[in-house]
Amino acid sequence: MTHRTAGSHAAIDHVELYVGDAAARSGEFVQRYGFHVAGRRHAADHESVVLRRGHITLVVTQGTADDHPASAYVLQHGDGVATIALRVPDAAAATADALAAGAERLREGIAGFGDVAHVFVDGPAGPAGPADSDEPAPPGLTDIDHVAVCLESGTLADTVAHYERAFGWQQIFEENIHVGAQAMQSKVVQSRSGEVTITLLQPLPGAQPGQIDDFLKNHGGSGVQHLAFSVPDILRAVDELGERGVRFLSTPGPYYQELAGRLDHPAHPVSALRSRGILADQDHDGQLFQIFTRSEHPRGTLFMELIERQGATTFGSNNIRKLYEAVERATRDA
């Protein structure tokens, strides 16, 4: 049963990554994705760099002592998302509600999935204030559209129930994806505000091991597979980030031969989508356009997505198979 809690109307305040080299990792986000450094913190056991672009805030933290949580995290997983901080009207109440509903404490926050924690912080729902004043016009990244997570087989239902019970969120979507003998299950949970969306994926029991299994093995358990960044103009965003050195997954030509028949009056020319490898889909509310970066992670795990929504509220169901196949190709070619 879903319970209303003080955490039900959350928004993403920031995402914290634990990394082995904060200077190098933050430099990549600055150079390749156009973030700027908004702050730094040096402590006895760690150092952090705060990065911003649009309404997105990332915190990149390196443990400088063996007993800092980032040190153990990187040893097990490599660089990756460790904390998703949630902005709510009353952080203390949201934390108390989650614990009363059976959630466990993890580091300074509440356990989410795997060893990823959620920290509640006080503030209004929606974007945290105006976007950066020096943000270039259309191509810039604006928000975090969703977070995609790979889960250990058999934990999907319990994870959804955890978010419903402890956070007061709701499941808004589910489907099974089959690619040959491989398959995965997907369920999406979302805060009541609609500001936080987490896509949860697990291998389909009985199917041949595939991409999700590879992530779980290489990452060392459940974790964030990718962060999806909203953009207002995906053509310009891909061009800008490509010039900055971001590499994207490729899409086979036959995909675009079918696309014109699937989309009613595409908002972007199919030829422009094809030349950049951008995927497109539509639902009853509108269209969406998305593209996925090649993972630069040494273990081939964490990567990013760019997504432009022109009314669409779903997640490109017709494209999930294409993403799966593209990641498989990239893995074989690595």
pTM of the model: 0.91
223-230 vs 303-310, strand pairing mode: parallel
Q: Render the burial of 281-293: b for 16+ CB within 10 Å, e for the rest.
A: bbeeeebbbbbbb
Give the pLDDT confidence score for residue 131 in this predicted structure.
Answer: 55
Q: What share of the chain is helix, strand, coil (3-state, %, to 5)?
A: 30, 35, 35
CATH topology of domain 143-333: 2,3-Dihydroxybiphenyl 1,2-Dioxygenase; domain 1 (3.10.180)
User: What gap in Å lies between CA 104 and CA 112, rounded to an integer?
Assistant: 9
Name every residue whose Cβ is closer than 8 Å to that of residue 67 and which is 6 or more positions away in sequence. Answer: 45
Give the pLDDT confidence score for residue 230 in this predicted structure.
Answer: 97
Calculate mean pLDDT across residues 82-104: 96
Nearest of 121, 9, 10 to residue 59 by alpha carbon:
121
pLDDT in tens, 306-319: 999 999 988 766 66
Give the pLDDT confidence score for residue 205 in this predicted structure.
Answer: 81
pLDDT above 70 covers a percentage of the chain that reads 89
- The answer to which of 58-67, 69-78, 283-292 has the lowest mean pLDDT is 283-292
Give the pLDDT confidence score for residue 321 in this predicted structure.
Answer: 65
pLDDT at 304 > cutoff 50: yes
pLDDT in tens, 235-273: 999 999 999 999 999 888 888 888 877 888 899 999 999
Confidence of residue 1 (pLDDT cuts 50, 70, 90): very low
Task: Report which DSSP code applies to 311.
Answer: B
Task: With residue 143 as reference, give the H or E element that holds it.
Answer: strand 143-150
Q: Judge whether 11-122 and 143-333 match in fold.
A: yes
pLDDT in tens, 269-291: 999 999 999 999 988 899 999 99
Give the position of tokens 């489907």.
175
Q: At what angle do helices 22-33 and 234-244 cross, to 10 degrees?
A: 130
Give the pLDDT confidence score for residue 138 in this predicted structure.
Answer: 43
pLDDT at 139 > cutoff 70: no
Q: Are 146 and 230 in contact (CB under 8 A)?
A: no
Q: Where exactly are the structural domains of the chain?
A: 11-122, 143-333
116-122 vs 80-88, strand pairing mode: parallel
Range 11-122 has CATH code 3.10.180.10: yes
Residues constituting the chain:
334
What is the average pLDDT score of the chain?
A: 90
Confidence of residue 56 (pLDDT cuts 50, 70, 90): very high
- Two structure tokens written together for 277: 């490898």
